[in-house]
Amino acid sequence: MKPTIYDVAKKAGVSIATVSKVINNTGRISEERRKLVMKVMEELDYQPSSVAVALTGKKTFTIGVLIPDISNPFIAEVARALENEARETGYTIILCSTDYQLEREHDYLELLLKKQVDGIIIATEPKDIEVYEKLTKKKIPHLFFSVEPPSFLSNAVTIDDVRGGYLVGQYLLAKGHLNVALIAEPNRSSGRLRVEGFMQSLKEAGVTFNEKSLIHSKSKVDEARIAAQEVLNLKKRPTALFAGTDLIATIFMNEARKMGVRIPEDISVIGFDNTVHAELADPGLTTIAQPINELAYYAIHNLLKSIENKNTQGHRVMLMPELIERQSVKRVDS
């Protein structure tokens, strides 16, 4: 069996208290004993049990991360960045993919509480507000990532999605596109906000928008494929498509190709997220970049701050998105 602090103490001929003190560098220990204990720990290949430590009221150094689907490239990059940031501060990540199912979200949340995670990052769209109110009430440090927090008491890190949508609108208008279709994620606040920003830019320019050109789809292959076909079959084909995510954009490009529709000659496409898909697409996908690493940095550090001081609540960070121009949008004469 794994050696315990008792084994170390016995072999070193000291008390467990002494061992504990050298482990944690607390109290005062003679250099002599310290070295002895260290040596014994080494010999026994002793590792203090985090479980026991956690039970004494300390932290678990574990953070739960709720995401919809890790195979979505944007989410994968988010997970990567969060984990990386967490690792640097000695935290470990429990990955919880809900696959967009409310039930799984509930189950995972309960599980995380049982496991006594120190904090929770929520990158799934908060649907059942009650559940999250519970987190606030119980003072469980948590932070909403890239989704609109349901309460102002929760921490949050997002980009300015409205601005992102606005940038898209501005850019497409500047390129002469007046008939633009949208494939948006209606079930994500970010999706709705992006549409909002887009509409705002049209409004300011005095351009009207045909509601029929707004299609809904999650950022999932099957759904997006259907949405893409819907756009391609619109009676009056739009000159440009604003896709809610790069994945959707890429799938659209794929469907278009199958139907012999050229991009950007026949229809321009602009995405969102600037994932690797955007870079590798043909033509390169013009898109809105999210500063993922920065977002992750703030997420972890704000959460940690909340963990240190459970009364720090409602801290928010909103970063700015940026347009990355590639070759998927062409200028049209209007």
Partner DNA sequence: TTGTAAGCGTTATCAG
Partner DNA sequence: CTGATAACGCTTACAA
Query: Which helix (H) or strand (E) is 208 found in, with range?
Result: none
Contact flag: residue 90 with DNA (CB under 7 A): no
Scan residues 1-20 and list those touching DNA (CB under 7 A): 1-2, 4-6, 13-18, 20
- Asked if residue 289 lies in contact with residue 274, where contact means CB atoms within 8 angstroms, the answer is yes
Using the 8-state DSSP alphabet, how is residue 285 labeled?
Answer: P
Region of residue 31 (phi > 0: left; psi between -120 and 50: alpha; otherwise: beta):
alpha
Helix/strand/coil for 119: strand
CA atoms lying within 13 Å on the CB side of residue 312: 17
Query: Which helix (H) or strand (E) is 217 found in, with range?
Result: none
Contact flag: residue 136 with a copy of itself (CB under 8 A): no
- Choose which of 212, 280, 310, 334 interacts with a copy of itself (CB under 8 A): 280
- Nearest to DNA of 37, 173 (CB atom): 37
SS3 content of the chain, % helix, strand, coil (to 5): 45, 15, 40
- Exposed e or buried b per residue across 205-215, where buried means at least 16 C-beta atoms within 10 angstroms of its C-beta: eebebeeebbb
Kindly report the number of other CB atoms within 10 A of residue 308's CB atom: 11
The least distance separating a copy of itself from the CB of residue 206, rounded to whole angstroms, comes to: 37
Helix/strand/coil for 261: coil
Contact flag: residue 325 with a copy of itself (CB under 8 A): no
- Asked if residue 264 lies in contact with residue 271, where contact means CB atoms within 8 angstroms, the answer is no
Scan residues 35-94 and list those touching a copy of itself (CB under 8 A): 45, 47-52, 54-55, 60, 62, 69-71, 73, 76-77, 79-80, 83-84, 87, 92-94
- Residue corresponding to tokens 């590639």: 326
237 binds, among a copy of itself, DNA, none (CB under 5 to 8 A by kind): none
Contact flag: residue 218 with a copy of itself (CB under 8 A): no
280 binds, among a copy of itself, DNA, none (CB under 5 to 8 A by kind): a copy of itself
Token reading at 229: 């076909």
Scan residues 96-125 and list those touching a copy of itself (CB under 8 A): 96-97, 99, 104, 110-111, 113-116
Could you give the string, one character per residue 233-272, with x where binding to a copy of itself holds by CB under 8 A and - elsewhere? -----------------xx-xx--x---------------
Nearest Cα to Cα of residue 242 among 283, 275, 208, 273: 273
Contact flag: residue 10 with a copy of itself (CB under 8 A): no
Binding site for DNA (CB under 7 A): 1-2, 4-6, 13-18, 20-21, 23-24, 26-34, 46-49, 51-53, 55-58
Binding site for a copy of itself (CB under 8 A): 2, 45, 47-52, 54-55, 60, 62, 69-71, 73, 76-77, 79-80, 83-84, 87, 92-97, 99, 104, 110-111, 113-116, 134, 138, 221, 250-251, 253-254, 257, 276-277, 279-280, 282
